[in-house]
Amino acid sequence: PKHMTGIYNPLDTSKFSSGTPLGCVDHLEEETPVIGKIGRPVSEKWGKLTIRAFAEVQKARPDTKLLLVGAPEKIKKEARSLGCDDQVIYRDTLPPDKVNDFYASIDALAHTSAIGESFGYVIAEAMASGVPVVVDSTPMRDNAQIELVRHGETGYIANSASGFSEALIRLLGTSSDTYSTKARERT
């Protein structure tokens, strides 16, 4: 026992080094910025902040798309109410062997959860795939997402729609930059 140690939620990072973009983004131009969120289709795992921030991103970057995998009806309803539903691509949940393809399809992960994260595998997987992340802090709930993200270094932490959208826009660059991490080598 004195030579043993525990590994805190191990993640095999070699599994997240490649993927093929999902068919739902194949028709998009290479320069089209894609923000993504993936989760189980239960309301607790989805915060409305992602949709509200995306509506703000649309004002600065109307060419941006939002790819939502596993979104529950409350999130779809929020997108319709904010008038950005036509810029959202919805996908049902993915089998585990297709999750890498989700990360290969997006330029940034916008991760919010009404109940926070006890660890945040989605966040760790995105980072292992070279995808930058924006998360919110949920101090009165599970809040492991802020243990994974070092603000300004490995991603951003933002708690308002305006702060969240500013972080996403910063990651995507301006439309004149035609910045797309899919079009460049991820570091």
Q: Dihedral sign, CA of 177, 59, 106, 157?
A: positive
Q: Are 134 and 158 in contact (CB under 8 A)?
A: yes
- CA distance linking residue 69 with residue 51, whole number of Å: 13
The widest CA-to-CA distance across the chain, in whole angstroms, is 59
DSSP code of 145? H
Of 63, 40, 66, 34, nearest to 51 by C-alpha is: 66
Question: pTM higher than 0.85, yes or no?
Answer: yes
Q: What is the pLDDT of residues 74-118, one digit of tens each?
A: 999 999 999 999 999 999 999 988 999 999 999 999 999 888 888
